[in-house]
Each structure stands twice: as structure tokens, then as C-alpha cells.
Amino acid sequence: MPNQPVTLGKMKCGQGQPLLLIAGPCVMESEELVLQVARQLAAWRDELGLQVVFKSSFDKANRTSIHSYRGPGLERGMEILSKVREVTGLPVTTDIHESCQAEPVAAVCQIIQIPAFLARQTDLIQAAAEATAKHGGIINVKKPQFVAPEDMIHVVKKCVESGNPNILLTERGTTFGYGRLVNDMRCLPIMKSFGTPVIFDATHSVQLPGGSTTGGQREMVFPLARAAVACGADGVFFETHPDPDTAKSDGPNMVALDDVPRLIDQLVRMRQLLNDLLP
């Protein structure tokens, strides 16, 4: 059985627990940018007593165009995330795309994230589950855009049988036609019924796939995130950047760093209200 709640140091994610926030720039554009965002997130953590995990990608392996910026790579990426942990004390997470990346990433990151497109890859799931179990970490698997929430039980079973019951599942929208994602909020309670905490990916849910670069509807992040928390999401994932319009990846759907306090305030208050209503 998966663990409920999932424990990360002094933090807990799950039913009745405070909201978990996973945030950071989409891709590691530079060490300076990463540390700027991480320091600000850590400051809000300390000021408001939040549960925060820092996220950024060392390689955007699924970029639409071959000419798009992908990131600094595995070795440099782990150096940067190690520095984030050292400087801010924030737990860190990033995504992996190949089984060989699981061990070196699990040695640095408390959470390994499996991208939605790769959540059906058994070897990748097993490698991530084994590596995170070895290092006392967590595996976070995003529900693919093409998979029904009921079928994510098979991912949970793969993780548990590979040695790690510390599992998060993330909802990030379902493909509707060719250029739109929609959020079926029923996915959240369905996946929570497996015994796993569930995260809502608020920024990838508002992507507009298609063309040479992916578009997005940043203005929809706030209402969708509020809806997800109201439907029982145990955490919210959102990407943020000091100037999203100049970001090298996913700018149209990222939240401006200056707007993050307003988003956090709304989500934390809604989560507290929901917890107060629990029997």
C-alpha cells in the first residue's frame, strides 16, 4: 500500500495536512536565476510557515523544436540543485527522462518527477522507484494527458512493487482535440482513492500545445488552482519566473514571481478551510 500521508523531512503531504507547494522556473536558465527564485520561495516559506519544494528542469527533453533551449544537462543541473539545498534548505525536485538518470538525481533530489509523456514507461518508473527508495525519497508521477485517472493505479502498483510506497500523483490536464488541455476535476478524488496524495499542476494544465512553441493561458492558473484545492488536491505545482515573457521555456503559462504571494494566499486559505471541514 502507498503511504498516506507522504513524509518529506518535517513536511507531510496528504489528507488533512497543510498544502504542499512545488514551484520554480520551468528550466534552469542559469544558476543566478535559479537561486534568485529559490531564495524568494524560501523567504515566503519562512515568513508564512509554508511547505515548499523547489523544482526546475536540467533538461527539457520533450521540447517541440530541436532548436529550443533544453537546459544545462544532468551534471551541471545537479550541481545547481545541490546549491539550492545548501543555500535555502528547500527540498528539491526535477524530472528524469531515462532510467540511467534515476540514481544520480535521487542522490540529490528528495523527489523524482516522472513526466506525463513517460508515465507508461515501466523501466523508468521502476528505476525511479528503486533509486528514491534507496535514498529515502519520493516519486511523483504525472498522469499522462492520454490516460484515464482510474488507470493510474497501475503506476502506483509498479512503484510499490519496486520498493517505494512514497508516491505522489499529479494531475496536469487531459488532451481535448489537438490544441487544448482540459481539467476533469474528478481525476483528483479518483486518484486519491488509491491512497496516494495528489498534486495539481496548475501551469502545465493551461498550456496550449501546437505550433513551433507551446502557448499558454497564464490567466487561468488562479481559477484552476483554486478549483483543484477545493476538490481535494493535497498540493499545487506551479512554475514561476521573474519575467515569464522572456523565459526560455513555458513562459506563456508560468506565474510571474511577483504574483506568487497572491496565489499562495488564496490556495493556503482554501486548504485550511477544507481541512477545517473534514470530520
Helix segments in the chain, DSSP class H = 31-48, 74-88, 102-106, 122-134, 153-161, 187-192, 221-230, 260-277
Give dist(CA 166, CA 203) in Å, integer.
24
For 224-262, how does the pLDDT look when each residue is reduced to its tens digit (9 = 90+)? Answer: 999 999 999 999 999 999 999 998 888 888 999 999 999
Q: Is residue 205 part of a domain?
A: yes
Tell how strand 11-13 and strand 6-8 pair up: antiparallel
pLDDT tens-place string over residues 79-127:
999 999 999 999 999 999 999 999 999 999 999 999 999 999 999 999 9
Q: How many helices (H) and strands (E) does the chain have?
A: 8, 15
- Averaged confidence pLDDT in the chain: 94
Domain of residue 97, residue span:
6-277
- The enclosing domain of 31 has a CATH number of 3.20.20.70
Handedness of CA 170, 221, 25, 259 (dihedral sign): negative
Q: How confident is the model at residue 63 (pLDDT cuts 50, 70, 90)?
A: low
In a domain, 15, yes or no: yes
Give Cβ neighbours of residue 89 (< 8 Å, ≥ 6 apart): 42
- Tell whether the model's pLDDT for residue 68 goes beyond 80: no
Q: What is the pLDDT of residue 188?
A: 98
The pLDDT value recorded for residue 66 is: 78
Q: What is the reported pTM?
A: 0.96
Distance CA 38, CA 29 (A): 13
Residue 272 lies in a domain: yes
**Does residue 26 have a pLDDT over 70?**
yes
Region 67-79: what's the mean pLDDT? Answer: 89
Residue 214 has what pLDDT?
67
Look at strands 92-95 and 138-142 and give their pairing: unpaired
Number of separate domains in the chain = 1
At 82 the pLDDT is 98
Q: In whole angstroms, give the CA distance from residue 68 to residue 253.
A: 17
Residue 1 lies in a domain: no
Tell me how crowded residue 204 is: count the other CB atoms within 10 A of its CB.
Answer: 24
